[in-house]
């Protein structure tokens, strides 16, 4: 080759050599980081145990091995040790950042926070039966924990670490035969297995499902395992022959295929049996083959050959190559019958499809530190298209959890506007971004929000307008009675971020205004009824007659001045029908007729009737009076404020009659007996001094009752007066007598 040729060729060869050298150097650096991380953690965790009883160092070793198996980088394996070292360091983020860099330190811190949060959540799962807000119902806790896991996991490596750790915990329980907490097994099945499924990490998904199901339903698990074992020998010998013949036939056609038996997992068998109401014998894919070929064209060529050699079951064919699953899974699935009529499932895929099916997102993700250029500090080491594919996978995962088609259209991420915090008992509460302790209180219970007066976040007192962050534990201090502050509705003060909480505060104040309006209306209605002398009527009945559903409905419109009290008066005292002129003048004339009775009281509209002043209240002019028609004793005259009269009127309103005091000469010289009550300090001559006052004022005392108790004298004088006005003047003089504390008319 000419010198010019060599000079031309050298630049083309140089970049691959440099890249290869860089890759080797980086792998060596990561291996050194892994060894350093383990050495850093050993003194801290070697003698410690998890709450499951497993030694922490052994757990971390196993997690690192699982991560290596699914394609996790050496740096991520190093984080499996640092996660458990965090609780033993005073300033873990600072200490680890100095030694391992900020990205690895942050990964360990976030994962450790999730370990703590999920442990608390499992412990509290059985404590919450129901609350005012259904978020705290344990049926929703699994979904909330899953969402919070994602909210923490903007770095995908956190998810991978937690999946690997949970798988190792389940393996530990299976090996040690220790009793498994139901909450842990349930969380594994409901949270971790679905996440592994969405990422397409099948080997973790299947094992987590089988182990969780084994712990939750041991009897069913053993029954299916026994049925599988009974036919295992026959099935394996038949499958070996079938696999060898298929591989040979494909080789003869020039297709370099790898054919192997595909294990059927017990949990997937049970799900299929339950979902399709099948018996064990009707599960077609107990015998299954997987064919891995170089390219897509070979997939369809193998499918064609399989369908020629066996009888396909048309309804059991799926083309996931032309139409991949939502998580990116691709393969051809078909079920055929052999010569004996037995079903066999065959899966056909390329090597790349097989890698994705086994490891999912982990198959495309190298987890190399990339500073601010990568996704949450992480970048793919493959090309741009692969990186975009992984990001799309994460966004699809988020949409699965939220079910938010609108967010997809608007380009919003699931966790751009949500946070997840904890109650003191570790129940997960979902809140909007920027939410405060008051938002949290209203989400837990409306009354807790109304009475919220203080808050602790992670054990420290904070102002009520403090913005909360993911994973924080919030404790509310509440008063026994009271309501929200109007300041909470001021957007400039930042007390509320949740529209739901803001609506509850407004509703509380609206209810207070409504209560004041109702009270004002009630007072007006009751005064109107007193004026009409109809206080005995039931208010609910009155409201119903006026067309309202309740008395409060009537009071509210009256309190707002939207309803005239005249309507009540018309209802209770309807206007009389129109009269002929002669009848009208006769009625007016008879109404003017009034005869004086011996008591000096006129019964309006009736000729002379027998009247008598009641002894219970002893009325005297100008007291407001009312008449009550007695049985055989004429009309009894009472003061309008007499309790006996009100009671009689409420029972027999039809016997109440209008009366008034006589006027002019006819009433001159009349006297009326009234009772005067006097309270005084007992002393010698007290009775004489008070009696002299009545004598000087020319009031005849016709009765006296006295009683002295512990130095206090109680006296009742019955005196005859011409009118109540003169009595009031005399009572003022009596109150001036030495020792008198009070003097009033009874």
- 231-272: per-residue pLDDT in tens? 656 666 777 778 888 888 888 888 888 888 765 677 877 877
Residues 6+ apart with CB under 8 A from 151: 415, 418, 419, 420, 470
Strands (E), 463-591: 474-478
Does residue 430 contact residue 456 with C-beta atoms inside 8 Å? no
User: Between 719 and 261, whose confidence is greater?
Assistant: 719
Per-residue pLDDT, 124: 58
Q: What would the two tokens of residue 72 be?
A: 């996790």
Per-residue pLDDT, 334: 92
Q: Tell me: the pLDDT tens digits for 97-151?
A: 888 888 888 888 878 877 776 666 656 554 543 444 444 454 455 555 666 565 5
Share of the chain above pLDDT 90, in %: 12
Residues 6+ apart with CB under 8 A from 92: 85, 86, 105, 108, 109, 112
Let me know how many helices (H) and strands (E) the chain has, helices first. 27, 23
- What average pLDDT does the segment 720-735 reach? 86
Residue 172: pLDDT over 80: yes
- What average pLDDT does the segment 309-326 reach? 87
Task: Say which range, 39-48, 117-126, 325-334, 621-630, has the weakest mean pLDDT.
Answer: 117-126
Residue 671: pLDDT over 50: yes
Per-residue pLDDT, 442: 92
Other beta carbons within 10 Å of 616 = 14
Residues 6+ apart with CB under 8 A from 742: 677, 678, 679, 735
- What average pLDDT does the segment 704-713 reach? 85
Q: How far apart are the first and last CA of the chain?
A: 137
- What average pLDDT does the segment 6-18 reach? 35
| Spatial distance between the Cα atoms of 204 and 202, rounded to a whole number of angstroms | 5
CA–CA–CA angle 592, 596, 598 (5° rounding): 160
Residues 6+ apart with CB under 8 A from 693: 730, 733, 734, 737
Q: What would the two tokens of residue 607 be?
A: 């000729």
Residue 168: pLDDT over 90: yes
Per-residue pLDDT, 59: 93
Does residue 110 contact residue 155 with C-beta atoms inside 8 Å? yes
Task: Say which range, 14-28, 252-266, 383-397, 531-545, has the weakest mean pLDDT.
Answer: 383-397
Q: Tell me: the pLDDT tens digits for 673-702?
A: 888 899 999 888 888 888 888 888 888 888
Q: What's the whole-number average pLDDT of the chain?
A: 76
| Spatial distance between the Cα atoms of 435 and 423, rounded to a whole number of angstroms | 14
pLDDT band at residue 319, thresholds of 50, 70 and 90? Answer: very high
CA 670, 674, 680, 685: dihedral to nearest 10 degrees? 50
Residue 637: pLDDT over 80: yes
User: Between 489 and 135, whose confidence is greater?
Assistant: 489
Per-residue pLDDT, 398: 43
Domains of the chain: 27-215 (1.10.3210.10), 227-364 (3.30.460.10), 370-402 (no CATH), 418-497 (3.10.20.30), 509-572 (no CATH), 581-667 (no CATH), 672-745 (3.30.70.260)
Per-residue pLDDT, 393: 47
Share of the chain above pLDDT 70, in %: 73
Task: Say which range, 11-20, 69-78, 245-254, 448-457, has the weakest mean pLDDT.
Answer: 11-20
Q: How does strand 343-350 pair with strand 611-613?
A: unpaired
User: Between 20 and 660, whose confidence is greater?
Assistant: 660
Residue 479: pLDDT over 70: yes
Backbone dihedral region of 402: left (phi > 0), alpha (psi from -120 to 50 degrees) or beta?
A: alpha
Q: How does strand 368-369 pair with strand 611-613?
A: unpaired
Task: Say which range, 159-168, 462-471, 654-663, has the weakest mean pLDDT.
Answer: 654-663
Task: Say which range, 123-132, 634-643, 663-672, has the weakest mean pLDDT.
Answer: 123-132
SS3 154: coil
Q: In 556-587, which positions are buried (b, 16+ CB within 10 angstroms) versus exposed (e)? A: bbbbeeebebeebeeeeeeeeeeeeeeeeeee
User: Between 10 and 38, whose confidence is greater?
Assistant: 38
Per-residue pLDDT, 234: 65
Residue 644: pLDDT over 60: yes
Per-residue pLDDT, 439: 93
Q: Tell me: the pLDDT tens digits for 277-298?
A: 777 666 655 678 899 999 999 9
Per-residue pLDDT, 2: 35
User: Between 115 and 215, whose confidence is greater?
Assistant: 215
Backbone dihedral region of 656: left (phi > 0), alpha (psi from -120 to 50 degrees) or beta?
A: beta
Residue 577: pLDDT over 70: no
Biggest CA–CA distance in the chain, Å, is 155
**127 backbone dihedrals φ, ψ, rounded to 5°:** -85, -25
Per-residue pLDDT, 55: 92
Residue 512: pLDDT over 70: yes
Per-residue pLDDT, 399: 46
The DSSP symbol for 375 reads B
């Amino acid at each position: 080759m000419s010198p010019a040729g060599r000079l031309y060729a050298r630049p083309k060869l140089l970049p691959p050599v440099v890249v290869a050298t860089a890759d080797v150097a980086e792998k060596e650096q990561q291996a050194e980081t892994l060894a350093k991380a383990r050495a850093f953690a050993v003194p801290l965790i070697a003698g410690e145990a998890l709450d499951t009883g497993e030694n922490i160092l052994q757990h971390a070793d196993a997690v690192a091995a699982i991560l290596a198996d699914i394609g996790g980088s050496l740096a991520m394996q190093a984080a499996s040790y640092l996660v458990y070292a965090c609780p033993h360091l005073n300033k873990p983020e600072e200490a680890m950042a100095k030694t391992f860099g900020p990205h690895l330190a942050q990964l360990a811190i976030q994962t450790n926070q999730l370990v703590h949060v999920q442990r608390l959540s499992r412990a509290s799962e059985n404590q919450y039966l129901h609350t005012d807000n259904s978020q705290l119902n344990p049926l929703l806790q699994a979904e909330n924990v899953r969402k919070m896991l994602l909210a923490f996991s903007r770095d995908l490596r956190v998810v991978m670490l937690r999946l690997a750790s949970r798988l190792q915990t389940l393996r530990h329980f299976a090996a040690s035969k220790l009793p498994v907490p139901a909450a842990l097994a349930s969380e594994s099945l409901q949270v971790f297995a679905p996440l592994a499924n969405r990422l397409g990490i099948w080997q973790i998904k299947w094992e987590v499902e089988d182990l969780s199901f084994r712990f939750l339903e041991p009897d069913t698990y053993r029954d299916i395992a026994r049925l599988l074992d009974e036919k295992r020998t026959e099935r394996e010998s038949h499958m070996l022959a079938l696999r060898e013949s298929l591989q040979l036939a494909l080789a003869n056609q020039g297709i370099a295929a790898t054919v192997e038996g595909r294990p059927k997992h017990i949990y997937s068998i049970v799900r299929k049996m339950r979902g399709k109401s099948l018996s064990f014998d009707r599960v077609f894919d107990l015998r299954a083959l997987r064919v891995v070929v170089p390219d897509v064209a070979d997939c369809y060529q193998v499918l064609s050959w399989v369908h020629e050699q066996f009888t396909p079951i048309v309804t059991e064919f799926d083309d996931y190559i032309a139409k991949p699953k939502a998580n990116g899974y691709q393969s051809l699935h078909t079920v055929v019958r052999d010569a004996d009529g037995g079903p066999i499932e065959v899966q056909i895929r390329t090597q790349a499809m097989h890698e994705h099916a086994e490891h999912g997102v982990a198959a495309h993700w190298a987890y190399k530190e990339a500073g601010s250029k990568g996704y949450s500090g992480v970048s793919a080491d493959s090309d741009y298209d692969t990186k975009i594919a992984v990001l799309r996978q994460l966004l699809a995962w988020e949409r699965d959890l939220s079910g938010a088609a609108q967010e997809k259209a608007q380009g919003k991420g699931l966790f751009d506007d949500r946070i997840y915090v904890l109650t003191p008992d570790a129940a997960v509460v979902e809140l909007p971004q920027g939410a405060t302790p008051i938002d949290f209180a209203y989400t837990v219970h409306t009354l807790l929000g109304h009475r919220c007066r203080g808050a602790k976040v992670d054990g420290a007192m904070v102002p009520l307008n403090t913005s909360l962050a993911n994973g924080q534990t919030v404790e509310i201090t509440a008063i026994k009675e009271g309501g929200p502050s109007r300041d909470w509705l001021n957007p400039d003060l930042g007390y509320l971020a949740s529209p739901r909480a803001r609506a509850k505060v407004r509703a509380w104040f609206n209810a207070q205004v409504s209560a004041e309006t109702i009270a004002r209306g009630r007072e007006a209605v009751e005064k109107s009824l007193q004026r009409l002398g109809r206080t005995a009527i039931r208010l609910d009945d009155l409201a119903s007659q006026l067309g309202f559903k309740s008395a409060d409905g009537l009071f509210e419109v009256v309190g707002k001045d939207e309803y005239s009290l005249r309507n009540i008066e018309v209802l209770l005292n309807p206007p009389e029908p129109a009269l002929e002129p002669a009848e009208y003048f006769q009625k007016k004339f008879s109404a003017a007729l009034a005869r004086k009775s011996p008591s000096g009281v006129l019964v309006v509209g009736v000729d002379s009737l027998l009247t008598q002043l009641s002894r219970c209240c002893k009325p005297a002019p100008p007291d407001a009076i009312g008449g009550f028609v007695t049985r055989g004793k004429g009309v009894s005259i009472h003061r309008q404020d007499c309790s006996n009269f009100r009671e009689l009127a409420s029972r027999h309103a039809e016997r109440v009659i209008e009366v008034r005091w006589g006027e002019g000469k006819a009433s001159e010289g009349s006297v009326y007996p009234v009772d005067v009550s006097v309270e005084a300090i007992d002393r010698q001559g007290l009775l004489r001094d008070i009696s002299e006052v009545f004598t000087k004022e020319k009031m005849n005392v016709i009765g006296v009752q006295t009683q002295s108790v512990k130095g206090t004298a109680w006296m009742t004088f019955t005196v005859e007066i011409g009118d109540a006005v003169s009595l009031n003047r005399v009572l003022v003089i009596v109150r001036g007598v030495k020792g008198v504390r009070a003097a009033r008319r009874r």
